[in-house]
């Protein structure tokens, strides 16, 4: 006779197999275009949680001294390269005197959408600009870097000039910006058809060399209040209601559309980057995780400052959805990365990133 204990263990094993299968499936997301399959892209969003679930199973079966431990163990080992994209194990090195400090920051229009009062918005703008001043970047890459129609929205340009960032390039529908302590040449804007997002670029004249830089903002998902609503505990009690189900359908449709648009935008940008006659630096808000098709295209041939020198959880989005790393500093392989730091307290809905870099000796 089959015991109740045996049935329970078999059931747990099948649940374990399912979680291991889903984790393994998420590994394929960077290699499959969302144009062909957007479900894999959505599954990859849950990679941090799938990883934690499988680590739990490893601990559980190890405690039970069961051979079942090998299911999740082998699955996690197969994707161990992805762990460093989520959790950094790097250590900061010595920063040479000639190092460049890079900074990327999506400031959410200086929190303009959250405040109807001019004085409140100005307080937020000053707080963000003071943080930038404290970090003292040599190159600043901004996204949503305006007051979104407010009369004093141009004040940031003048304030940043006083910080030494006197060479400036602004453009793009989502208020993209490049601020530099060094002269900018051959500036340009890359528009994405049917999108409010885009990218801008410029050639920076550094002492003795040139580098091409990009400030990037790939397609926003624009979930609105739906994301906040479905994350509420009360929604678990109303899953059978039409209104709740409609929210999930809307989120699914928005996610699928955004994944597809970002894939197309990343393809355009990757071609532009590959054609650069100079070493490149690509910074910005990709709105996609490292386990995504668009990130794989954008990072091809480049180094990620977080995977090189980051430490701890790499979350850059400070909104309702946790554990999302969607902002990046990517640099040419000819550039050495010395540091990677994330803003400790978010002022916007994104954390600012900074990295000290220098050129390798020829």
Residue 241 included in any domain: no
**Helices and strands: H and E segment counts in the chain:** 12, 15
Q: Tell me what pLDDT residue 254 has.
A: 80
- In whole angstroms, how far apart are CA 182 and each of 133, 143, 175, 203, 281? 17, 20, 21, 10, 15
Q: What is the pLDDT of residues 293-319, one digit of tens each?
A: 999 999 999 999 999 999 999 999 997
Name which residue leads in pLDDT, 255 or 134: 134
If asked whether residues 49 and 183 sit together in one domain, one would say: no
CATH value at residue 184: 3.60.10.10
78 pLDDT more than 50: yes
Q: Is residue 123 classed exposed, middle or buried when 0-12, 13-18 and 19+ CB atoms within 10 A define those classes?
A: middle
Long-range contacts formed by 163-171: CB under 8 A, 24+ apart: 163/132, 163/133, 163/136, 164/136, 165/137, 165/140, 169/200, 169/202, 170/145, 170/200, 171/198, 171/200
DSSP states of 170-182:
EETTTTEEEEESS
The pLDDT of residue 155 is 76
Residue 1 pLDDT > 50, yes or no?
Answer: no
Note whether 197 and 262 are same-domain residues. Answer: yes
Please check whether residues 72 and 105 belong to one and the same domain. Answer: no
- Give the number of domains in the chain: 2
The label of the residue with tokens 């010595």 reads 94
Cα angle, residue 301 at apex, residues 179 and 272 outer, rounded to 5°: 55
CA dist 211 and 209 (Å) reads: 7
Domain assignment present for 27: yes
Domain closes at, from 17, 46, 78: 78
Reported confidence tier of residue 152, pLDDT bands at 50, 70, 90: very low
Question: Hey, what are 7's tokens?
Answer: 């049935």
| DSSP at 219 | -
- Answer whether residue 194 shows pLDDT above 60: yes
Rg for the chain, CA atoms, rounded? 22
pLDDT (0 to 100) of residue 18: 96
Structure-model confidence comparison of residues 260 and 8, the more confident one: 260
Over residues 95-123, the mean pLDDT reads 82
Tokens of 254: 């928005």
pLDDT in tens, 36-70: 999 999 999 999 999 999 999 999 999 988 998 99
Rounded CA-CA distance 322/315 in Å is: 8
54 plus 197 within the same structural domain:
no
d(CA 76, CA 70): 10
Same-domain check for residues 151 and 197:
yes
Give the other-Cβ count within 10 Å of 315's Cβ.
18
E-assigned strand segments in the chain: 87-89, 100-106, 139-143, 167-171, 176-180, 184-191, 198-206, 209-217, 280-285, 302-304, 311-313, 327-332, 335-337, 341-342, 353-359
Q: Are residues 263 and 306 in the same domain?
A: yes
Same domain, 173 and 55: no
Res 8: pLDDT: 80
Give the Cα separation of 254 and 267 in Å (integer). 20
- Top-ranked range on mean pLDDT: pick from 149-153, 205-209, 218-222: 205-209
Based on the domain organization, do 51 and 136 belong to the same domain? no
Is the per-residue pLDDT at 109 higher than 60?
yes
pLDDT greater than 90 at residue 151: no
Looking at residue 228, what is its pLDDT?
Answer: 53
Instruction: Look up the domain containing 281 and give its range.
Output: 100-222+250-359
Do 35 and 137 lie in one domain? The reply is: no
Cβ atoms of residues 86 and 290 within 8 Å: yes
pLDDT computed for residue 362 by the predictor: 58
Does residue 148 have a pLDDT over 80? no
| Distance of alpha carbon 244 from alpha carbon 317, whole angstroms | 25
3-state secondary structure of 274: helix
Same domain, 169 and 27: no
CA angle, 180 then 185 then 186, to 5°? 130
Sign for the CA dihedral angle at 94, 311, 181, 295 comes to positive
Checking if the pLDDT of 210 tops 60, the result is yes
Write down the residue that tokens 């699955």 correspond to: 75
């Amino acid at each position: 006779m089959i015991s109740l204990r045996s049935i329970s263990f078999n059931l747990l094993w099948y649940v374990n197999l399912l979680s291991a299968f889903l984790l393994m499936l998420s590994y394929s997301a960077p290699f499959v275009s969302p144009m062909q399959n957007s479900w894999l892209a959505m599954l990859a969003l849950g990679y941090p949680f799938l990883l934690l679930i499988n680590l739990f199973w490893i601990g559980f079966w190890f405690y039970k001294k069961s051979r079942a431990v090998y299911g999740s163990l082998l699955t996690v080992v197969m994707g161990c390269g992805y762990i460093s994209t989520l959790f950094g194990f790097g250590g900061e090195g010595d920063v040479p005197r000639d190092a460049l400090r890079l900074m990327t920051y999506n400031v959410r229009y200086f929190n303009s959408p959250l405040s109807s009062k001019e004085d409140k918005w100005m307080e937020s703008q000053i707080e963000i600009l003071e943080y930038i001043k404290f970090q003292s970047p040599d190159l600043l890459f901004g996204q949503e870097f305006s007051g979104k129609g407010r009369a004093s929205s141009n004040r940031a340009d003048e304030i940043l000039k006083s910080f030494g960032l006197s060479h400036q390039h602004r453009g793009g529908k989502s208020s993209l910006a490049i601020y530099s302590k060094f002269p900018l040449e051959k500036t340009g804007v890359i528009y994405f058809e049917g999108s409010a997002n885009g990218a801008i670029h410029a050639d920076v004249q550094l002492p003795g060399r040139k580098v091409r830089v990009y400030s990037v903002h790939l397609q926003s998902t624009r979930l609105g209040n739906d994301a906040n609503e479905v994350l509420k505990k009360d929604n678990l009690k109303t899953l059978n209601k039409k209104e709740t189900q409609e929210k999930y359908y809307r989120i699914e449709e928005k996610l699928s559309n955004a994944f597809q648009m970002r894939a197309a935008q990343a393809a355009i940008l990757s071609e532009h980057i590959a054609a650069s006659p100079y070493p490149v630096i690509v910074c910005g808000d990709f709105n996609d995780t490292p386990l995504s098709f668009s990130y794989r295209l954008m990072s091809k041939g480049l180094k990620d400052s977080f995977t090189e020198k980051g430490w701890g959880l790499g979350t850059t989005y400070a909104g309702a959805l946790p554990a999302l790393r969607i902002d990046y500093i990517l640099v040419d392989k000819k550039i050495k990365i010395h540091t990677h730091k994330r803003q400790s307290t978010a002022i916007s809905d994104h954390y600012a990133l900074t990295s000290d870099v220098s050129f390798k000796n020829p």
